[in-house]
Structure 1
């Protein structure tokens, strides 16, 4: 579940937004507003970095200032706005959409968002392994086991692994340790990024590995798509699936930036 979809489920001020792929598709179908500004820049005000359109702070759909605590994140936001052409296309602004969700929704739903991340840890994708073929199972072990070990060392708890699709409950102490780590993620921006990284990878473990600097974004993305890439190597990739993956990667990159810089 994406952060936008999460907000739609649990409620947020103003209109809820669809998941990233649906948002992009909807934006492409709808009439787009004309670009009304010449320059998008970053201005530092009151300890925050504002996205300024011709010197005036941009606003979220709920009319909150489009302002963040990190200059790199603000510069990336401003770059999205500056890159717009004659019309403003939200499909080409994944970071802006995520920051809007963070400021307009996650800020008021922190407890529920954190709980959702912990819930994912209870059925984390990295804990479910293929029984066959041996080459896939071996690849999962080679790539995923060190990642899990690193996260286990960081939270001082152990995950239970399972074969196939049979559910394997995680120890209560492990989920408590995960919850304690999630509680330390700043809200709303880094928390929104954490939620979307988790959603797009199917893994709280991978999100924690990224947050703690164990892996960089490229390594996280690769680990999350290990099974998919194995199948692509055998059968090839569908064109539509490839396009959807490109969109997901853009959303992932925005979420990773917000997690690490928010």
Structure 2
């Protein structure tokens, strides 16, 4: 759609901080006033609106998309979102290792085992590891502390986690970022360990490179959204 406003600004709104366009508050698709947890996030949201020129391009407004997702799709259904996120423990990338490439397997051990050790020490959950292709069952009875952890997240933190876990293919990597053990860039790199190894061996085509760039930017956007909500 074409830009329909002259000025975008951060401003106090009902429920906290928000964004106004020519003095009118931005609303979510569900009709609620868009609210931000911190003035810093409100300023960043307003900046994305201000940066739009002839056309308003939602894909160029990642922080707004995350804020809208939080308010309309995560906050009203926290329990369901938490249950969906917990499912990634069952298929965590870090538990699936190469069984036919010793070099890759060694890299996986060096990069991923310290995180699994941290996860076990921090949350009392030790995940099983396999070098096979078939799914490996995990101890679902040990998930109680993980659910408690997610239940303690703010809406913004749960939103970030619920997007990070599928993007990384890993509950552990997502939690490491939320806990401050990893940066967004480190989380992305660790999630792409297998792909990066294959690129070293065989090269990378243009389409794959574009996908990896888009994913890297997604991690950065989520990391920034999280930081602004905590500032």
Question: Could you list the runs of 5+ residues in structure 2 that have no partner in the other structure?
Answer: none
Q: Is the 8 A contact 2:185 2:220 kept in 1?
A: no
Corresponding residue for residue 100 of structure 2: 132
Corresponding residue for residue 170 of structure 1: 138
Q: Which secondary structure does the structure 1 equivalent of 2:19 belong to?
A: strand
1:106-161 Cα offsets, whole Å, 9 max, x none, are 12211110001111111111111111311111111111111121122221221111
- Cα distance in 2 between the residues matched to 1:75 and 1:121: 35
Corresponding residue for residue 33 of structure 2: 65
Q: Say which of 51, 56, 73 aligns to 2:24.
A: 56
Q: Which secondary structure does the structure 2 equivalent of 1:44 belong to?
A: strand
- When structure 1 is superposed on structure 2, of 157-166 and 244-253 the one drifting more is 244-253
Matches within 5 A, 1:113-192: 113-187=81-155, 189-192=156-159
1:196-221 Cα offsets, whole Å, 9 max, x none, are 11111111111110111111111111
Q: TM-score, normalised by structure 2?
A: 0.92
- Cα distance in 1 between the residues matched to 2:122 and 2:176: 9
- Give the number of aligned pairs: 229
Corresponding residue for residue 196 of structure 2: 229
Q: Is the 8 A contact 1:77 1:96 kept in 2?
A: yes
Distance 1:246 1:76, change over 3 A: farther
- By how many angstroms is 1:94 displaced? 2.1
Corresponding residue for residue 239 of structure 1: 206
- Cα distance in 2 between the residues matched to 1:260 and 1:154: 22
Question: Could you list the runs of 5+ residues in structure 1 that have no partner in the other structure?
Answer: 1-32
Q: Say which of 150, 158, 166 aligns to 1:199.
A: 166
- By how many angstroms is 1:99 displaced? 1.7
Q: Say which of 69, 74, 83 aligns to 1:101.
A: 69
